[in-house]
Amino acid sequence: MRRPHPIDYYVGMTKYFLNLEACEGRVLRPKGFRVIELSEPSPGPSYVYLLLKEGIDTIHALREIRRRLGGKWYHLGLKDANGVTLQLLSSDVVSEGLQLRLRKGCLVLTPLGRGSINKARMWGNAFVIDLQCSKPHSLEGKVKVPGYFSYQRFGTARPVSHVVGKMILLERWEEAVEALLGEPTPWESEAARRVRLEYYSEGPRAYLRAPKFMDVERRVAFELLRGSSPKRALKKSGLTELFLHAYQSYLYNKRLSEFDDPCEGPEALPGPGAEGYEELLEEEGVTLELFKKFGLRAAPRRPCYETYVKSFARGDGRVTLIFKLPRGYYATSLLREIVRDPFAV
Judge whether residue 236 has pLDDT over 90: yes
* Confidence band of 331 (pLDDT split at 50, 70, 90): very high
Sign of CA dihedral 133, 134, 139, 145: negative
Share of the chain above pLDDT 90, in %: 86
Q: Which domains does the chain have, with CATH numbers?
A: 6-31+124-147+303-339 (no CATH), 42-116 (3.30.70.3160), 149-300 (no CATH)
Judge whether residue 33 has pLDDT over 80: yes
The mean pLDDT of the chain is: 94
Dist. CA 166–CA 243, nearest whole Å: 8
Judge whether residue 58 has pLDDT over 90: yes
Claim: this prediction has a pTM higher than 0.95: no
Q: What is the pLDDT of residue 334?
A: 95
Q: What is the pLDDT of residue 135?
A: 81
* Confidence band of 107 (pLDDT split at 50, 70, 90): very high
Q: What is the pLDDT of residue 4?
A: 93
Q: What is the pLDDT of residue 271?
A: 86
Of the candidates 74, 20, 79, 65, the residue with the CA atom closest to the CA atom of residue 42: 74
Give per-residue pLDDT as tens, 139-153.
Answer: 889 999 999 999 999
Of the candidates 99, 104, 136, the residue with the CA atom closest to the CA atom of residue 30: 104
| 76, 77, 205 from 304: Cα distances, Å | 22, 20, 45
Q: What is the DSSP string of 243-285?
A: HHHHHHHHHHHHHHTT-SSGGGS-SB-SSTT--S-HHHHHHHT
Are 17 and 337 contacting, i.e. CB atoms less than 8 angstroms apart?
Answer: yes
Q: What is the pLDDT of residue 290?
A: 95
Dist. CA 70–CA 91, nearest whole Å: 10
Give per-residue pLDDT as tens, 158-181.
Answer: 899 999 999 999 999 999 999 999
Dist. CA 308–CA 127, nearest whole Å: 12
Q: Active site residue: 80, 130, 261, 316, which one?
A: 80
Has 8 been annotated as catalytic? no
* Confidence band of 20 (pLDDT split at 50, 70, 90): confident
Q: What is the pLDDT of residue 138?
A: 67
CB atoms within 10 A of CB 289: 8
Give per-residue pLDDT as tens, 280-329.
Answer: 999 999 999 999 999 999 999 999 999 999 999 888 889 999 999 999 99
Contacts of 19 (CB under 8 A, 6+ apart): none
Judge whether residue 104 has pLDDT over 90: no
Sign of CA dihedral 248, 250, 251, 257: positive
* Confidence band of 1 (pLDDT split at 50, 70, 90): low
